[in-house]
A and B are shown apart, each in its own frame.
Chain A
Amino acid sequence: MDFVAHHLLTIVLLTPALGALLLLAVPRGALGALRGLANLIGWLGFAVSLPLWFRFQPAGPHFQFRESLAWIPSIGARYSLGLDGISLLLVLLTTLLGAVAITSSWNVTERAKEYYIFFLLLQTGMLGVFLALDLFLFYAFWEAMLVPMYFLIAIWGGPRRLYAAIKFFLYTLVGSVLMLLGILLVYFQHGAPYTFDLEQLMTTPLPAHLQLWAFFAFFLAFAVKVPMVPFHTWLPDAHVEAPTAGSVILAGVLLKMGAYGFLRFSLPLLPEAARDPRVRSLMVALSLIAIVYGGLVSLMQQDMKRLVAYSSVSHMGFITLGIFALNPTGLAGSVIQQVNHGLSTGALFLIVGVLYERRHTRAIADFGGVASVMPRFAVVAMIVVLSSLGLPLLNGFVGEFTILQGAFQEHWSWAAWAVSGIVLAAAYLLWLYQRVFFGTLENRANAHLHDISGREFLMFVPLLAAMFWIGLYPKPLFDVLRQPVTELAQRVRPGWASAGTLATAPPTAPSGGAR
């Protein structure tokens, strides 16, 4: 048991990859066995990550469950894993959504073996990104994860899948290789003995102009991934063409990797660049543009998946706004909102997937009155839509409110612009719901849609439960986040607490009215 306790993170990380190896041994034709085993591994991956939540000590040392092994000593790269409150939430989100996505792929029959193998490898890649504390290891996972995602879109995707997959790959690759230069820049500034260790690199003093260069190198990689306007154009294509489970993971987890990159690497490694007023106003401006632009474009979409994809642009704008508010409230809100966005957008893609499987169309105009033939499904969809648009008592509200509070502490106008995003979200989501579920059933093809099956319902259950839980009682989440976000804010803006922009907002109480 001791071994297990000391290697929890490795176990969480490698469960999907080992499962993929296991699947290799299953014959291609045995669809049932492949599917069953893949589901088992997916949910096992979630199960082994649960102890992290119960064993994590919010008041404990910054990084917990640490593991560190020499990997490539001659360049100073280590296999070094660790978990703080921020990565804890994202790891749990990843394992949960991964399991749900695998369950949602039940009807993938073509080349199912390769499908599940790629999916599980992707899962390991994403977990590695959230767990790595060594920049080299982080980069390896960050890039390696591109490959399975590329194949998932390009083989099992929609009609324009090749275009979408290559666009996704190249956009991300260009961003990433420049990040590699940024990493090397920081690495050389540290000097001998060379190391990629995050905590050691954080102690390296970097001249301000170099910080700016490195910041933009990192920024390109993360901004493409988030995606921030104007680097977002790959997202709608990739989403529309990806298979349902691919979209769920893409929106639910992959986009978070960009935001996580800002939180874990850009801000702590390059604090001077991050607090530079020019950089900050640029980031905030891009975030606000994303919020408004994403919302407006969503309003105009004819395709459900495209609509959800653009709504992600808008929602991710909130997340980057929270990050660059650079105060504990905004940072905590941003992480919570990452979890929320993963849950609600993941669920939205599942909903689109359920409809698509039945009707093989995603055009909004092809639907209408679905609620009368699929009542159970309509209820589920209603909850998800309300969660995504930020209704109080559901999860979306908690995150958005906290972010707005953090943004308001910095400047009232930031919050004012951002609020318009919530209004727009209500408009496009409710309008979507109305056009699809309400009204009379005019299209005869919709008359005999069967309601969601037990399996389909079960894959929504954990997501709905999480939505209610976070909406009603978010305190545990704020508890695990308090220490990391406070440390982060103090690192980026030393003396922030004493200078305090607003006396009414003590930096150690990030949740405010949302509790």
Chain B
Amino acid sequence: MADKEQDRDIINLLEKDTGKGFHLMVERYSRKLYWHIRRLVILHEDADDALQNTFMKAWINLESFRHESSLYTWLYAIATNEALTIINRRNKNGAASLDDLSGIFARSIEGSTWFDGDEAQQKLQNAILKLPEKQRVVFNLRYYDDMPYEDMSKILNTSVGALKASYHHAVKKIEEYLQTL
């Protein structure tokens, strides 16, 4: 999924004209990052907030990126942190159950409006929501984005071996959950 050629275009433009380069970065990455965040936070309004915060942080810290190797792992790392911040905030404040979609949708009228999956999709999302946070991130990046473990390792600052074990455990738990229904 990593398009390193595209990243090079953005980096070249950023060096020539920061504003234009950033514009291109937002255009190229807003969808990918939105869906990555959305799958973690579920609600559109939370994903929207996290996406805007992601680009705001990227913009503010653009100078520090110039020493990094990959634009896309840098952006995914910021987006993942933003999504996890929202989840943690929700866990601290929320009294309602947040381990299935109905629990989350109960807290937001908007939530149910923007989910159009069938029953099987809803079960899968519920199974994913039962995973520990980090396993959920690993599962989503691998299952939906087909992200190589090496890239994931840079984003999550975890060894490839641990990520493979994490994905393996996640799939096993999801399978067990789906079989019990």
Please determine whether chains A and B interact with each other in the same assembly.
no
